[in-house]
Amino acid sequence: MKIETALLSVSDKTGIVEFARALASRGVRLLSTGGTARLLAESGLAVTEVAAHTGSPEILDGRVKTLHPKIHGGLLARRDSAEHLDTIARHGIDRIDMLVVNLYPFRETIARPDCSFADAVENIDIGGPAMLRAAAKNHGTDAGGVTVVIDPADYSRVLAEMDQGGATSYALRLEMAAKTYAHTAAYDGAIAGYLTSLAEPAPAQDAVPARHDWPGTLTLQVHQAQALRYGENPHQQAAFYIDSPRAAGLLGNYRQLQGKELSYNNIADADAAWECVRSFDTPACVIVKHANPCGVAVAQDTLHAYQQAFKTDPTSAFGGIIAFNRPVDAATAEAVSGQFLEVLLAPGYDGAALAVLAAKKNVRVLEIPTGAGHNDFDIKRVGGGWLVQTPDSYNVPRDAFKVATKRKPTDQEMDDLAFAWKVAKYVKSNAIVFTGGGMTLGVGAGQMSRVDSARIAAIKAENAGLTLQGSAVASDAFFPFRDGLDVVVAAGATCVIQPGGSMRDDEVIAAADEHGIAMVLTGTRHFRH
């Protein structure tokens, strides 16, 4: 069946006038509501208001306008059923062959800091989801069905198929129906998440509701950005899904400028590098291998930051992920091109840098706009459930550092400790990080005992030819015994930063005093499993 009547009612009016004009030029009758109808009429298009079509005026401030048999009968009548078609004919109901709807901007509304409860509720669409579900259900068979369109990006595809015979294919209608149900599920999930997180009693109409820590039901909706060749290992299947909308500054906003397709491990490691490097206020470079920083440095520019970061562990840097928090210039691009790397991340690249990197055709070059956004929560899958937590986005301010020993750190030591503490937050537990002069000197990560992480960090520094004399050390969690402290002091550390909180804190602090080193407590732990 040819498309003869289309109902258009959209909040996102991108391209709607041009699409409606194209439909009209193909002989399609236009029905519409509210602001969409006014826009189309003002644009010179012949459009019939839904109220005129149904014979029922909009009521309740527009809350009821499309909930009518002439709308839903026109959408739900099966095109391959003579009985359905006879029924709507007897009741004076015309077929509606196309529905173009996108919903009230609920998620955008509740994202506003000044959103009141009343604003949120009034942006819960009722008629729109009802029509979308009806139209998607009746996408039909090869004999015909309703074409449902929710995304302006699909307008051109619909018109192209109509030009082949006035209708759309079953394959396209099925695809659009699936997309519609995903859309309405996400919409309902956002509403459910908002309402179940509200505190009791019901808020005043002009108040911003207080929120519980966690909703009773957590509904997730993510969109596939990329099907991946495989997961962590070749026998595992994988894909990359992204949030919509995505907060500014997060990896999911990347734009790939060159290189091979990203893999599962590339994306995981790139996120670890990006989150670490964007935590610094000065030019910084982070090199990551297997989700752990193996070299981090800050400097006056990206080139020197890279050179210092690379010195920490040249062996592990081979095949690593390199991230910068400043745009990359040609000199930096030349330097990183001297090593084998998988992924390069930065907020930008100048033309000369891109020309240099073009010679490394396989290197995946990602551009990520900077921003202060963070995920609302982190998720870990376990058997039969999910662990959900807020992200570890807290950075302990320096004025909250507490000196626990008789000796206080020098100003330089305090700078080194603050740098070490920032890096340790992004190293897998148990984490020990030696630093000095704005660069990492040795990193011990992911060990079952803290003392082993301390030994490994010292060994890594020795293998890289770096001295630990006068270095600073960060431990992501407290020292449960003095043995780990003894190891880092023996390696050359003169100051240590750690959360504290152990039942043996007094013993560990006494050991620091015995060694004549400075120890700072942060009161905050940074486990990363």
Question: 159 Cβ partners below 8 Å, 6+ apart?
Answer: 19, 22, 23, 26
- Does 330 score more than 80 pLDDT? yes
Which helix or strand (DSSP H or E) is residue 99 part of? strand 98-102
Mean pLDDT across the chain, nearest whole number? 90
Chain segment 288-297, per-residue pLDDT in tens? 999 999 999 9
Residue 65 CB-half CA count within 13 A: 19
Q: Strand 341-346 relative to strand 320-324: parallel, antiparallel, unpaired?
A: parallel
Which residue, among 525, 501, 490, has the nearest Cα to 404 in the 3D structure?
501
pLDDT, mean of residues 76-87: 83
Of 39-48, 125-134, 354-363, where does the model show the most confidence?
A: 354-363
Strand order from edge to edge, sheet including 284-289: 255-258, 364-367, 341-346, 320-324, 284-289, 292-298, 439-444, 432-436, 471-475, 493-498, 518-521, 402-403
Mean pLDDT for 376-401 is 90
**The total number of residues written for the chain in this structure:** 529
The reported pLDDT for the residue numbered 115 is 85
Q: How confident is the model at residue 213 (pLDDT cuts 50, 70, 90)?
A: low
* Farthest-apart Cα atoms in the chain, separation: 97
**Measured in whole angstroms, how far is the alpha carbon of residue 277 from the centre of its chain?**
17
Confidence of residue 212 (pLDDT cuts 50, 70, 90): very low
Judge whether residue 206 has pLDDT over 70: no
Q: Does the pLDDT of residue 201 top 70, yes or no?
A: no
Q: Which residue has the higher pLDDT, 246 or 513?
A: 513
pLDDT at residue number 268: 96
Rg (CA), the chain: 30
193 or 13: which leads in pLDDT: 13
Measure the CA–CA gap between 59 and 67, rounded to whole angstroms. Answer: 11
**pLDDT surpasses 70 at 202:** no
What pLDDT score does 199 carry? 52
Query: Distance between CA atoms of 252 and 477, rounded to whole angstroms?
Result: 30
Measured in degrees and rounded to the nearest 5, phi and psi for residue 445 equal: -135, 145
H-helix or E-strand spanning residue 241: strand 238-242
- Give the residue with greater pLDDT, 76 vs 245: 76
pLDDT band at residue 282 under the 50/70/90 scheme: very high
Q: What 3-state class would DSSP assign to 353?
A: helix
pLDDT tens profile 229-259: 999 999 999 999 998 778 899 999 999 999 9
Residue 457 near residue 443, CB atoms below 8 Å: yes
pLDDT at 328 (0 to 100): 98
Per-residue model confidence (pLDDT) at position 142:
74
Q: Which of 13, 84, 179, 290 is catalytic?
A: 290
Cross-strand pairs, 239: 227
Q: For the chain, what percentages of helix, strand and coil (3-state, to nearest 5) are there?
A: 35, 20, 40
147, 168 Cβ separation under 8 angstroms: yes
Distance CA 92, CA 114 (A): 46
For 481, residues 6+ apart whose C-beta sits below 8 A from its C-beta are 451, 504, 507, 508
Helix (H) or strand (E) holding 324: strand 320-324
Per the annotation, the verdict on 526 as an active-site residue is no
Taking residues 200-206, report their average pLDDT: 50
∠ CA 319-295-272 to the nearest 5 degrees? Answer: 70
CA-CA distance, 198 to 188, in Å (whole number)?
16
Q: What is the distance between the alpha carbons of residues 444 and 423, in angstroms, rounded to a whole number?
A: 12
Which amino acid is present at 307? Q
pLDDT at 46 > cutoff 70: yes
Which pLDDT score is estimated for 277?
A: 97
Query: Which residues lie across from 323 on neighbouring strands?
Result: 286, 345
Q: Which residue in the list 13, 84, 137, 374 is annotated as catalytic?
A: 137
Determine whether 402 is an active site residue: no
Tokens for 491, please give them: 């390696």
pLDDT at site 243 = 85
Instruction: Say which DSSP state 251 is in.
Output: G
Mean pLDDT calculated for residue range 462-471: 96
Q: CB of 11 within 8 A of CB of 105?
A: yes
What pTM did the predictor assign? Answer: 0.79
Q: Please give the average per-residue pLDDT across 396-418, as a whole number.
A: 95
Cα–Cα distance between 343 and 321 in angstroms, integer? Answer: 5
Of all residues in the chain, the percent with pLDDT exceeding 70 is 96
